[in-house]
Structure 1
Amino acid sequence: MPSDPTVDSLRTAILGTETFLHHRVRAVIAGLGDRPSTGLTYPTEASMAPDLLRATIAALGGSAVAIANDPRLHGIVCEWAAVFAPHLLPVLTGHLDLSIGAVTALGNSSAYQRELLTELDTGAAVGVLLLTELGGTNGADQQTIATWDSTRGGFWLDSPDPASWKFMPNIADTTTPKIGVITARVIVDGRDEGVLPLLTRVRTQQGLQPGLSVLALPDKGWAPMDHALILFDQLFVPADGLLGGTWAQIGADGFESTVPVRARFHRAIATLGQGRLDLAGAAAAGARAGLAVTVNYALQRRPGGRTLMADRGMVRRDLVSALAATYATSVLGRRVQDIAATAPTGDPVVGVWSMLVKPLLAYTAHEVLLTCRQRSGAQGSLRTNWIQDWIGNTEGTITAEGESQLLWKQAGQLTFRDFAALALPRTPRILPWYVRMLGDREKGIAAGWRRDDIAVAGITIDRDTAAIELAAATSERLAATALWQASTTAEDDIARGLLESATAVYALERILCRGTWFAANGRMPPRVAQRVHRDLHHHREHLGAHLGELAAGFDIALDVFDAPMAAPDYLRWWQEWAGWPSTPTITSASDEAKP
């Protein structure tokens, strides 16, 4: 079948030019055979991840280190895992970014570290970050203690009180070896040397390491993982377990560091930036998957045999809004991944990008997937249609590696003086009026912050909530700009028009949502409000006539799902699942249970 140039151009906007790599990874992840489960216990579902991880590593060349060292590859792996492997995704960034990435960036290439890295490389052991404490993430104020023992040549890890217990790391599974990157306050000769990461085995085939107490936490409502509550009581970590790069080391004269004490934690966890970008991309990919199956279903279902579901105004309007938002955030995620892939190692700007992008993409994906769930009615409530699992993994993304509102707060506080530096490469000199309006809001909030007027941000409680408003405004401006830029480079005329309309719908809906801000700040007189309504209606109508092409632009193979909403004929899918004839002859009562 010849390719459709419109769909090809839309796919390029979403996936970039690395189509071969995407298709290679897609085939690997789809071939794992993972899918939402029915009737399994929570621990059983959580235990699937290690085997899926090892199979993925083997199919992609056999080296997790090689995958982790290729930022585009591991980002793409996370995206397709979000689509086709709901049990794999929750462990990916912990293994690739937070464990292997930390050792690669901060390690000293000692025999000890090489030995542990070899186990991580094949997936023989699963990598886990042990950062969050029961009392909170705490940053540079963490309470877990690592006391240096010069005689033994290592550190003793202890939990001095309940607030210091590590909370949520996935090491409760008794059958899977785990290697941990543990953040702790380093004490050397009685001096507080700040919070730094240490590398150690936490669980082997023989069981927990001495000095560890672990309790499996109660089940989450989504994304099964073997989360644990962890107490340290004299867990020994050799000196080579310290992950301090070239700037924090134990030398002949004791502990040496070129970085101020309070800054050491933030320098050490810079590797979180790439993990956040991978999670953001995964969230956007889950939203694309949800829309692909929902649009497929909406284009065939005729309630009562009459009007197509996709032709009903309330459904079409919501799908158009969701498609526009998903295009905007997906393109932004890809562009920022490209920036990160070419940035110098440890570039702090990448960290800022990740703090902006992860909340926007995760929150948008969550809203989109809830729309898919709700508009598809009872079908969307069943795990066999995958939407519930995509929602669950997105819930995990919102919380993982930095709760998303906190990330926006930090980003807003970092960028209010120089937000103009966060511009996408090759941004067109002239942007549409509605994209410029988003930029005006961002500039207005930043200007108010600089003169200590947080009220300009809107109905804010304090500087933290004002910072969140600024970061959200910056993120939305960047997403609209990214999508408009993609429209200017589209080779197909129809695709270009669709991308332009998607930009308009995304930006105008953000303006509509922030309407009181624009009105209060003199930027929404009646004529502008009328133009917002008029243009939004026009571009929604345009996109609504092309739902199928827009969903096809996500390049998702629906047959892999083996789900009624993804099937060419959802009624036939259910008929084959039931094993009943089209016109049954009722002979006796039947009460069967299907898996």
Structure 2
Amino acid sequence: MTTRTAPPGELTDLIGGSPAGTALRDRLLTALATDRTPSADAADDRARHVHRRLRLLAGNLPPVAELLRDPEQLAVLSECAALVEPPLYMAVINHYVLCLRSIVALTDDPAGIGAPWRALATGRTKGLFLLTEIGEASSQLGIRTTARFDPATGEFVLSTPSAGAAKFSGVGGSGVPQTAVVCARLQVGGSDRGVFSFVVELTDDAGPLPGVTVSPTVEAPSLPLDYALVRFDGVRVPYRQWLRDGARIDADDAFHDPLGGPDARLARTLSVGQALWATLPSAVAAVARQCSVQALRFSAHRRAHGRLAPGARLLDLRNQQHALLGALAESFALTCAGRSAQGLWARRCAADGHGASGPRAEGMTFSPWTAVDRPLAVLKAVTVRGAVRVAGECQHRCGLAGFLGPNGLDGYRRCTHVFETAGGDSQLILMDAGRTLAQEKDGGQPAGPLPDVPADRSGWWPAVARAQEARLQSDLHRTVRQRTRTVRQRSQAGRTGLGLWNPLLAAAQELGEAYGTRLVADTVAATVASVRDPELRFVVETLAALYGAVEARRSAGGLLATGTLAPAAVRALPEVIDGLCDQLLPHLPLLWEAMGAPQDVVPAPLGADDYAAALYTHLDR
């Protein structure tokens, strides 16, 4: 088969999305690449640098209302920021995905908020989302910041009752106007009415506004942003800046909420997370692709002097092929998952206009996230973990070069790793997903024998992933029923949910991971099935098969424990991976042309044909 050196349009569309998405990506990347002002180290200078870049993006984006209605455009914005400058991506998430999305989703008329909305929409003010409180774990389920309604003025009085209720976010630095969506517990007539969001102006050019206290900057070396603690002392918020989402307070101070309860209201308030989970997979997939392409190019050009084969390329070594071609295959799978997450959220948007599904308060146990949207939350968790693996493996396989700042891999690894906790703790998401799956009525169906598909075919891994999920779900469902029956028989007074689930947390997380693995495997299978071009179909089928074989080898212990795979099948995997690597190697130029960012956009020396010369050039700038 003759191999192409330039990607066909279908591959470009598969990786890059629609023509409109590609055009927006080109515009944003060009704007960011043209702006070569270096980032500063001092906190105040970093804050101004990030704000300037946000304004640059705002000038090249569609109007906010249009942007926030289109999952693909929001995902493209996320990808571009994450590729070019990971700290900027965190600011983009706060400003667009969480702050502005909250306003659009939770109020009928954003313009009715007035000047704060106009400043946010144009980028004159940097937007933040203040949810997490510093003092306790799972603080989202126990928000202590209060917003007391004052009937005399029709305003809300925002207060932080203790140091532990201080909010934590990237609000440090000075000289930058900032406005936040603050999640606080609404109190009307002395009663708790649940957690709502409020638009609160925090700082202007001179610093914090009256009643707002911002701590000195808290350093977070893994991601150089200016984090700080924020406290409120009687800050007055106008009624129009309450994101009330259909709730109201009548003239007689009677409170009405169409959702009917605090847990349902909390789930709705936090439904803004759907926008993050729908776009974060695409962003981390873009980062994973870039890591893989750069590490592969580096290995393809780098010679080694080991005595077994002096002068051989690093990429001639089987262990390097397994690691880096496996990373490329996983980044392809993450790309498919990112497209699927966008599609899920687009369907949510089509259903209700905002992309916020109905709350399921009964799903809140370890965290609120799976109650908001289980598939999207789990896709967030598993794609982030996949990107962390890819970035870490690529960094390791590049030796010292993988740790040098100009090459970018260390920054990408740290950025992806942050999202294990940020955006909803991945471990809690997976445990909650496993717990709810185990308690579903049918408890899953025992898996039958695997289809007779060879392990080097793209259909093998989806079948394995489905079988593994079914076995784990059936086993945990049965265990929960047995333990529940035992508790009832013993009549153990005071037996709590933790008493039932504490011994099963690892099993719940394992089931949640299997569910997420199956979601990704299904998205890869659907993508492969959609490809029409024969040569491209061969390439993506090989990528999909390699992804499955590498995943099976990585998770062999669990697959053997459940009996999903036999020992002989696991022992055969290295040879399967060898054969798939051999099939992919001739197509590498095609793949890294399609899957990597242009060199002028991400000018890391690592991806250059002559690495040493490129590194010298970079250092001499």
CA distance 1:43–1:568, change in 2 (3 Å): farther
C-alpha distance in structure 1 between counterparts of 2:568 and 2:393, whole Å: 31
CA distance 1:132–1:23, change in 2 (3 Å): same
Q: Percent identity?
A: 24
Matching of residue 393 in structure 1 with residue 415 in structure 2: yes
C-alpha distance in structure 2 between counterparts of 1:463 and 1:60, whole Å: 47
- Could you tell me which residue of structure 2 aligns to residue 214 of structure 1? 214
**3-state DSSP class of the match of 1:193?**
strand
- Could you tell me which residue of structure 1 aligns to residue 461 of structure 2? 434
- Could you tell me which residue of structure 1 aligns to residue 275 of structure 2? 274
- Could you tell me which residue of structure 1 aligns to residue 393 of structure 2? 371
C-alpha distance in structure 2 between counterparts of 1:521 and 1:480, whole Å: 19
CA distance 1:455–1:54, change in 2 (3 Å): farther
**3-state DSSP class of the match of 1:155?**
strand
CA shift at 1:398, angstroms? 2.4
Please, which of 544, 548, 554 is the counterpart of residue 507 of structure 1? 548
Please, which of 325, 332, 337 is the counterpart of residue 332 of structure 1? 337
CA shift at 1:15, angstroms? 2.7
Deviations 1:54-95 (A, max 9, x none): 11110224x334322322101111012111233421111211
**3-state DSSP class of the match of 1:401?**
coil
C-alpha distance in structure 2 between counterparts of 1:520 and 1:299, whole Å: 38
- Could you tell me which residue of structure 2 aligns to residue 583 of structure 1? none
CA shift at 1:443, angstroms? 0.9
C-alpha distance in structure 2 between counterparts of 1:279 and 1:433, whole Å: 28
Compute the TM-score of the two structures, normalised by the length of structure 2. Answer: 0.84
**3-state DSSP class of the match of 1:179?**
strand
Compute the TM-score of the two structures, normalised by the length of structure 1. Answer: 0.87
C-alpha distance in structure 2 between counterparts of 1:24 and 1:524, whole Å: 45
CA shift at 1:46, angstroms? 4.2
Matching of residue 443 in structure 1 with residue 444 in structure 2: no
Comparing 278-287 and 337-346, the one that deviates more:
337-346
CA shift at 1:508, angstroms? 2.5
C-alpha distance in structure 1 between counterparts of 2:601 and 2:240, whole Å: 45
Deviations 1:519-539 (A, max 9, x none): 333333344335545433322
- Could you tell me which residue of structure 1 aligns to residue 490 of structure 2? none
Q: How does 1:423-572 map to 2 (within 5 A)?
A: 432-453=459-480, 462-572=503-613
Matching of residue 382 in structure 1 with residue 407 in structure 2: no
CA shift at 1:346, angstroms? 1.8
CA shift at 1:402, angstroms? 1.0
CA distance 1:75–1:31, change in 2 (3 Å): same
- Could you tell me which residue of structure 2 aligns to residue 227 of structure 1? 227
- Could you tell me which residue of structure 2 aligns to residue 249 of structure 1? 248
**3-state DSSP class of the match of 1:203?**
strand
Contact 1:26 1:80 (C-alpha < 8 Å) held by counterparts: no
C-alpha distance in structure 2 between counterparts of 1:37 and 1:312, whole Å: 38
Structure 1: runs of 5 or more not aligned: 422-427, 579-593
Code of the residue aligned with 1:346 in structure 2: it is: A
Deviations 1:208-244 (A, max 9, x none): 2221111133211132222111121111112222212
CA distance 1:126–1:552, change in 2 (3 Å): same
CA distance 1:553–1:453, change in 2 (3 Å): farther
Contact 1:287 1:365 (C-alpha < 8 Å) held by counterparts: yes
* Structure 1: 4+ residue segments shifted above 6 A: 418-421
Comparing 499-508 and 282-291, the one that deviates more:
499-508
**3-state DSSP class of the match of 2:553?**
helix
Matching of residue 342 in structure 1 with residue 347 in structure 2: yes
Aligned residue pairs total: 565
C-alpha distance in structure 2 between counterparts of 1:350 and 1:270, whole Å: 6
Q: Give the alignment's Cα RMSD to 1 decimal.
A: 2.9
Contact 2:270 2:372 (C-alpha < 8 Å) held by counterparts: no
C-alpha distance in structure 1 between counterparts of 2:546 and 2:70, whole Å: 35
Contact 1:133 1:164 (C-alpha < 8 Å) held by counterparts: yes
CA distance 1:20–1:189, change in 2 (3 Å): closer
CA shift at 1:115, angstroms? 2.5
C-alpha distance in structure 1 between counterparts of 2:474 and 2:67, whole Å: 42
CA shift at 1:122, angstroms? 0.5
Structure 2: runs of 5 or more not aligned: 359-370, 445-450, 484-500
Contact 1:65 1:96 (C-alpha < 8 Å) held by counterparts: no
Code of the residue aligned with 1:257 in structure 2: it is: D
**3-state DSSP class of the match of 1:199?**
strand
- Could you tell me which residue of structure 2 aligns to residue 407 of structure 1? 429
Code of the residue aligned with 1:299 in structure 2: it is: A
CA distance 1:320–1:196, change in 2 (3 Å): same
C-alpha distance in structure 2 between counterparts of 1:86 and 1:521, whole Å: 39
CA distance 1:384–1:528, change in 2 (3 Å): closer
Contact 2:125 2:178 (C-alpha < 8 Å) held by counterparts: yes
Contact 2:298 2:606 (C-alpha < 8 Å) held by counterparts: yes
Deviations 1:106-141 (A, max 9, x none): 124276513321111110111111110012342242
Code of the residue aligned with 1:462 in structure 2: it is: P
- Could you tell me which residue of structure 2 aligns to residue 307 of structure 1? 312
CA distance 1:418–1:114, change in 2 (3 Å): farther
CA distance 1:6–1:98, change in 2 (3 Å): closer
Contact 1:209 1:235 (C-alpha < 8 Å) held by counterparts: no
